[in-house]
């Protein structure tokens, strides 16, 4: 078995299993946490709990006006690389083919050159995130090994995918194997690091929204 066969076979299969089981385990841990019933009456005019939760989730997608200027770079850059990752993952034809083989779902692909261009922008945006974390005094103080590992697990699939598409650095089969292995590493790390915020942010913001909307507070 060569490196590409191993990457596309046992490595990816094991990574998908860890990703699914680990994500379900983390979600179960959140959903099964004991909850104290709020026995206070809702403030007059308070929205239903689910509406309060949804409103907070949506409002927190952009910072409050008081903080918009101070956080503008990080906010815009975060949208750039999050949307860029979505375009790369769900817009490239080989990725769609993989998803179709895995889940039976498919949709039209975007032009490859467009996806590659978005990939370059996404990579630059992720590098800007690292520079910001290393140079901003507060962020550098708050950062730990898990933050940098999560960044590395995110940037490697993008970088190796671009190298494979451009046939730069090694044989295409080797580059493709490294790309698949980087995706496997991403999937394995996902449930256990801060990448899990892709799911958990909805629960944390929703819980805050339900609690404060019950008291008539808009957050």
Q: pLDDT-derived band of residue 18, with 50, 70 and 90 as boundaries?
A: very high
For 31, the token pair is 């959903």
pLDDT at residue 208 greater than cutoff 90: no
pLDDT at residue 58 greater than cutoff 90: no
Reported pTM: 0.87
pLDDT at residue 183 greater than cutoff 80: yes
The pLDDT value given to residue 91: 95
C-beta atoms surrounding 158 within 10 Å: 23
Look over the chain and give the mean of its residue pLDDT values, rounded to a whole number.
89
From the number of C-beta atoms within 10 Å of its C-beta (0-12, 13-18, 19+), residue 147 rates as middle
Average pLDDT over residues 37-43: 74
pLDDT digits (tens, 9 = 90+) for 68-113: 788 888 889 999 999 999 999 999 999 999 999 988 999 999 999 9
Q: pLDDT-derived band of residue 128, with 50, 70 and 90 as boundaries?
A: very high
Is 122 in contact with 81 (CB distance < 8 Å)? yes
CA angle 22, 60, 204 (to 5 degrees): 35
The pLDDT value given to residue 1: 56
Which domains does the chain possess?
Answer: 3-24+43-214 (1.20.950.20)
Highest mean pLDDT among 70-84, 180-194, 198-212: 180-194
% of the chain beyond a pLDDT of 70 = 99
Is 214 in contact with 52 (CB distance < 8 Å)? yes
Largest CA distance in the chain: 67
**197 or 48, higher pLDDT:** 197
24-42 residues labelled b (16+ CB within 10 A) or e (exposed): eebeeeeeeeeeeeeeeee
For residue 176, the Cα-to-chain-centroid distance in whole angstroms is: 22
The pLDDT value given to residue 219: 66
Kindly report each contact of residues 159-167 with a partner whose C-beta sits within 8 Å and lies 24 or more positions away, as own/partner: 159/123, 161/88, 161/119, 162/116, 162/119, 162/120, 162/123, 165/112, 165/116, 165/119
């Amino acid at each position: 078995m060569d490196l590409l066969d191993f990457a596309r076979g046992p490595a990816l299969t094991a990574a998908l299993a860890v990703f699914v089981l680990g994500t379900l385990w983390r979600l179960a841990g959140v959903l099964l946490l004991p909850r104290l019933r709020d026995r206070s009456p809702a403030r007059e005019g308070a929205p239903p709990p689910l509406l309060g939760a949804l409103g907070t989730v949506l409002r927190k997608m952009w910072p409050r006006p008081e903080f918009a200027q101070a956080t503008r770079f990080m906010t815009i850059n975060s949208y750039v690389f999050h949307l860029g990752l979505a375009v790369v993952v769900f817009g490239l034809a080989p990725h769609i083919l993989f998803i179709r083989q895995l889940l039976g779902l498919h949709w039209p692909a975007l032009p490859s050159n467009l996806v590659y261009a978005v990939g370059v922008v996404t990579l630059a945006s992720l590098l800007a995130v690292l520079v910001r974390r290393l140079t901003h005094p507060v962020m550098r103080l708050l950062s730990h090994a898990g933050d940098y590992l999560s960044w590395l697990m995110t940037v490697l699939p993008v970088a190796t995918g671009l190298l494979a598409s451009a046939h730069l650095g090694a044989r295409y089969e080797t580059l493709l194997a490294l790309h698949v292995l980087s995706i496997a590493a991403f999937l394995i790390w996902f449930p256990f690091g801060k990448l899990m915020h892709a799911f958990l942010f909805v629960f944390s913001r929703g819980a805050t929204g339900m609690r404060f909307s019950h008291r008539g507070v808009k957050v």
